[in-house]
Amino acid sequence: MSALSNNLIQWHKDKGRKDLPWQISTNPYKVWISEVMLQQTQVKTVIPYFERFMKRYPTIESLANSSEDEVLSYWSGLGYYSRGRNLLKSAKILKQNFNSKMPNSSEDLQALPGIGRSTAGAILSLGFKAKAPILDGNAKRVLVRYFRINDPIDLTSTSKLLWKIAEDNLPEKECNIYTQAIMDVGALICTRTSPKCSECPLSKNCISFNENKQNLIPVKAPKKEKPVRKVYWLVLKNKEGEVLLENRNAKGVWQGLWSFPEFNEEEQRAKYAEQLPLSNPKSIENMRLKHTFTHYKLDIDLQSIEIKEKLANFDNNKLWFNNDEIVNVGIPSPVLKVLKKIKSDDKNCFLQKV
Ligand code: SF4
């Protein structure tokens, strides 16, 4: 066993995390759900989402029998919604082809939507206690520092090298403990900024630490400026306190989620709003919101209007929602932010403090 895996395993037995919700009475299904939720998201954010999700979907079959709207309602605010859509698609495949069980081969796992090599490795090692490597963001950071790899971490060639290192350092036994340990050290000790090397079980052999370069690694390729997309939202509220939402059925990051009607041009929105029966001219409020995605930024110009009547002649993909109904569908976080204000603020100026 390498010094790296030996030190990690010994450390985890003493100090690692053992009481996260997905570690208690663990199984491959729980590991899968938690790993998908943890992609791009911190543990403390994931815990309440995981608990709610498992309560509603305790088995693969219960998930497979659900609808996209309902699954996304359990994802509201968590972001990266394709993860939720892919969980449902995968659960349906598992029900159909694997008797509602998680397969125990990396190939079968990676053939499922939303499961990459590292997630498959985590399911195998943590869920099935098999010998399989992972290479999530935390493990990558630990390995590039430990072996002092100066190449940018986001290059394909670096990734190839890291997979080889991850495989070479797998222990024959207790791979599940090793996997959890490298995740924990990455999350708790070998942190992105100011790693706590004095507390690290790997400090003796860590090349970056011994050369005092731990703050210079990982090296990242220079970032490109993200493009900005400007959109115009219309928040329509009726006298009964309901809001109009439209289902984003086009392909995209919010596919299947419910959002405010969106326009590409301010004039289009104005034209649309002109035909609406306003409750009074003062019911119009304007504001701006910004939201950042992985590949672009959204600059949202938002206008809210209170209308007199509950108009019914909207397209099929638009519906009025009251507060109780809103919790049953998937809502992206900037929309949730606005909706929370609608619930809590003065009726006539609900957008001012968002
Ligand atoms: S010694 Fe420091 S840099 Fe090296 S793995 Fe530990 S925390 Fe990271």
112-153 pLDDT tens trace: 999 999 999 999 999 999 999 999 999 999 999 999 999 999
185-231 pLDDT tens trace: 999 999 999 999 999 999 999 999 999 999 999 998 888 889 999 99
Backbone angles phi, psi at 321, to 5 degrees: -125, 135
What's the pLDDT at 165?
A: 97
pLDDT band at 241 (very low <50, low <70, confident <90, very high): confident
Q: List alpha helices for the chain, DSSP H.
A: 3-15, 28-38, 43-56, 60-64, 68-73, 82-97, 106-110, 117-122, 137-146, 156-168, 175-184, 207-210, 266-274, 323-326, 333-344
For the CA of 202, the closest atom of ligand 1 is: 6
Of 35, 242, 246, 306, which is the active-site residue?
35
Pocket flag, ligand 1, residue 187 (CB < 6 Å): no
Check whether 240 has a pLDDT greater than 60. Answer: yes
pLDDT band at 159 (very low <50, low <70, confident <90, very high): very high
What's the pLDDT at 35?
A: 97
CA distance 329 to 76: 8
Which one is predicted more confidently, 221 or 183?
183
CA distance 54 to 30: 8
Q: What is the mean pLDDT of the chain?
A: 90
Residue 146, token pair as written in the block:
């430990």
What's the pLDDT at 312?
A: 65
CA distance 327 to 50: 17
User: What is the rounded average pLDDT of the residues 232-245?
Assistant: 88
What's the pLDDT at 193?
A: 93
Pocket flag, ligand 1, residue 208 (CB < 6 Å): yes
What's the pLDDT at 313?
A: 61
Backbone angles phi, psi at 205, to 5 degrees: -105, 5
126-135 pLDDT tens trace: 999 999 999 9
What's the pLDDT at 223?
A: 81
Complete domains list, the chain, with CATH = 3-210 (1.10.340.30), 228-349 (3.90.79.10)
What's the pLDDT at 36?
A: 97
User: What is the rounded average pLDDT of the residues 55-63?
Assistant: 98
Global pTM reads 0.77
DSSP string, 206-254: -HHHHTT-TTT-S--PPPPPPPEEEEEEEEEEETTS-EEEEE--SSSTT
Pocket test for ligand 1, best of 153, 192, 200, 215 (most atoms within 8 A of CB): 200
What's the pLDDT at 348?
A: 44
Atom 3 of ligand 1 has which residue's CA nearest to it? 214
What's the pLDDT at 153?
A: 92
Check whether 282 has a pLDDT greater than 80. Answer: no
**C-beta of residue 177 within 8 angstroms of C-beta of residue 184:** no
Express as a percent the part of the chain with pLDDT over 90. Answer: 67
316-348 pLDDT tens trace: 788 888 878 888 889 998 898 888 876 655 444
Pocket flag, ligand 1, residue 214 (CB < 6 Å): yes
3-class secondary structure, 14: helix
Assess whether 35 carries a catalytic annotation.
Answer: yes
Q: Could you tell me the distance, in angstroms and rounded to a whole number, from the CA of residue 141 to the centre of ligand 1?
A: 9
Q: Could you tell me the distance, in angstroms and rounded to a whole number, from the CA of residue 40 to the centre of ligand 1?
A: 22
Atom 1 of ligand 1 has which residue's CA nearest to it? 203
Q: Could you tell me the distance, in angstroms and rounded to a whole number, from the CA of residue 194 to the centre of ligand 1?
A: 10
Pocket test for ligand 1, best of 8, 145, 211, 217 (most atoms within 8 A of CB): 145
Pocket flag, ligand 1, residue 8 (CB < 6 Å): no
Residue 12, token pair as written in the block:
């985890």
For the CA of 200, the closest atom of ligand 1 is: 6
Q: Could you tell me the distance, in angstroms and rounded to a whole number, from the CA of residue 75 to the centre of ligand 1?
A: 34
CA distance 321 to 326: 6
Backbone angles phi, psi at 239, to 5 degrees: -60, -25
User: What is the rounded average pLDDT of the residues 277-293?
Assistant: 81
User: What is the rounded average pLDDT of the residues 308-321?
Assistant: 75
Which one is predicted more confidently, 250 or 224?
224
**C-beta of residue 255 within 8 angstroms of C-beta of residue 248:** yes
